[in-house]
Amino acid sequence: MSCLNIISRNFSISTLTRAAIKNVTVVGGGLMGSGIAQISAQSGHNVTIVELNQEVLDKTHKNIQQSLQRVAKKVYKEKPQEGENFVSESLSRISTSTNLADVVQNSDLVLEAIVENLSIKHKLFKSIDDIAPEKTIFASNTSSLSIGEIAAVCKRKDKFAGLHFFNPVPVMKLLEVVRTPETSDETYEKLMAWAKAIGKTAITCKDTPGFVVNRLLVPLMAEAIRMLERGDASPRDIDIAMKLGAGHPMGPIELADYVGHDTNNSIINGWHEKFPENPLFNPLPFLQKLVDEKNWVSRLVKDIIVTRNNFLYNYCFGAEYYYFYFIHIHIC
């Protein structure tokens, strides 16, 4: 689906659809948080982004403005004035704050997109559970932690769920809505309606490790790395095999690099600790070695040197491919 169709669908939603969730608080102004804030604002919701300091918030606001301008340039190519209106109206719905306690007083939905650390997420939700209105829904954008474990510190477990977006948020259509056994039907229905309102295709998943997408992708990346460990194939050939043989837009080694070796290693080790009997979650010594060496290459990398015994794999990830795939989808 083109960006024009996505934007058109966002603009066509009714006021009734937005009624349940109108005021959205996004905690965390990073890549995911800014994307969530952008799509919420451009679909007619009032959004407040909360961060620890104003400098980060200013940078986040600028990034959102630039992203909206790219969308407007593409969608309203023949109608520049409408494009300017789209940008200004979307930005008018976005505010920023460093005071979460004040912001939540008027929030229908508080969605965190902060660091993947359970204790930090606990601290966040515990600090606002008693002061947020009873109607307020809490949600986490976690990609690997248990929603039930995050919600454990809150009293409103019936109003807690997972909302897992994908990067880049303004472009990727999928949203995983994760229910715990305590998530109420009312909460679930409101979140599904909100997902539709912001132009996402929502799927439902139980609170299982990695939900749907990462539960399939992480073991795939892990097995690709095990193939490197065994010397079964080169990184280049593994990626070409999955792109041309399985129709994947990215190979598993490219994807692992894009996600970041430290992130992949943390996810695998965390799952193994909770489910040691599952061989898909067995730790990866090779990946741990890369992390220990602070070889966390990610995104537009140059080369990665992969060492197994006395063999060197010098693999260029292909700047042209990365430029086309990631920059292209950013601007649709």
Domain ranges of the chain: 23-206, 213-293
Q: Please check the confidence at residue 293 and state whether its pLDDT lies above 90.
A: no
Provide the 10 A C-beta neighbour count for residue 307. 14
Which pLDDT score, from 0 to 100, does residue 295 have?
63
Which residue numbers are catalytic? 143, 164, 176, 214
DSSP letter at 14? -
Task: State the alpha helices, DSSP H only, in the chain.
Answer: 3-11, 15-18, 31-42, 54-75, 80-92, 100-103, 118-129, 147-151, 185-197, 213-230, 235-240, 252-259, 261-274, 285-292, 319-322, 328-331
Of the chain, the percentage scoring pLDDT greater than 70 comes to 83
Which pLDDT score, from 0 to 100, does residue 238 have?
93
Which pLDDT score, from 0 to 100, does residue 55 have?
96
Q: Please check the confidence at residue 46 and state whether its pLDDT lies above 90.
A: yes
Q: Please check the confidence at residue 318 and state whether its pLDDT lies above 80.
A: no
Tell me whether domains 23-206 and 213-293 share a fold: no
Which pLDDT score, from 0 to 100, does residue 296 have?
54
23-206 is classed CATH 3.30.70.2190: no
Binding residues for CoA: 67, 74, 143
| Crossing angle for the helix pair 3-11 and 54-75, to the nearest 10 degrees | 110
pLDDT band at 290 (very low <50, low <70, confident <90, very high): confident
Mean pLDDT of 136-158: 97
Q: Please check the confidence at residue 166 and state whether its pLDDT lies above 90.
A: yes
8 Å CB contact between 160 and 143: no
Which pLDDT score, from 0 to 100, does residue 141 have?
98
8 Å CB contact between 89 and 108: no
What is the CATH topology of the domain spanning 213-293?
N-(1-d-carboxylethyl)-l-norvaline Dehydrogenase; domain 2 (1.10.1040)
